Amino acid sequence: MLKFNLSILCLGTFISSWGQTHTLAGRVATENVESMSEVELELLDASGTLVATYTTDCDGLFTFNDLNDGETYTITMQKEDSPLNGTSTFDLVLISRELLGVQDLDSQYKQASADVDESGAISIMDLVLIRAVILNIVEEYPGGDWLFFRPGNLDASSSYEIVLTDDLLDFDIVGAKKGDVNGSADTCP
């Protein structure tokens, strides 16, 4: 009798989770909690097939519904923007002060924004590249204009892998504009 009851319990658990769907939702904002619009998000399944797309409004919120239980998904994000958005000579001054050891850039996001060539370190080459953008000698930063982070993650990435076993309603993303260390970029044009 115990064997039969255990089988029914296992079958019942399987049936209740079979076909269950979940929601993935969050917000894209800067470190100053300014919501970001026009961030293009794509959701891919484990085979790389596009499942859904979403473009954020000025509230920065996104939602993907009806996602299968236990499946692996990859969420990708990008934001097309002008490299000049938020980039000024004041940013050059702040980055120079960091390089000279006079005043540190006080967050990982500002440091990542200053490393516009994505070399892993802030250098004179970053200042040269930002200056070239300001003077319209160079039209874009290498690798795009925005960097994306998960809160608490020190590495920028344009994609994150997720296995959904429950609703995930706080999948927040922090955006950092390359070259903009003082946070003056317009995030909702």
Task: Pick the closest to residue 69 from 141, 5, 13, 136 (CA basis).
Answer: 13
pLDDT of 154 higher than 90: no
Rounded distance, CA 85 to CA 64, Å? 29
Q: What is the pLDDT of residues 40-73, one digit of tens each?
A: 999 999 999 999 999 999 999 999 999 999 999 9
pLDDT of 25 higher than 50: yes
Cα separation values, 2 from 11, 15, 177, Å: 14, 20, 61
* The one-letter amino acid at 31: E
pLDDT of 3 higher than 50: no
Which pTM was predicted? 0.86
Task: Pick the closest to residue 109 from 156, 173, 39, 176 (CA basis).
Answer: 176
Q: Return the DSSP state at 47.
A: T
Q: Return the DSSP state at 46.
A: T
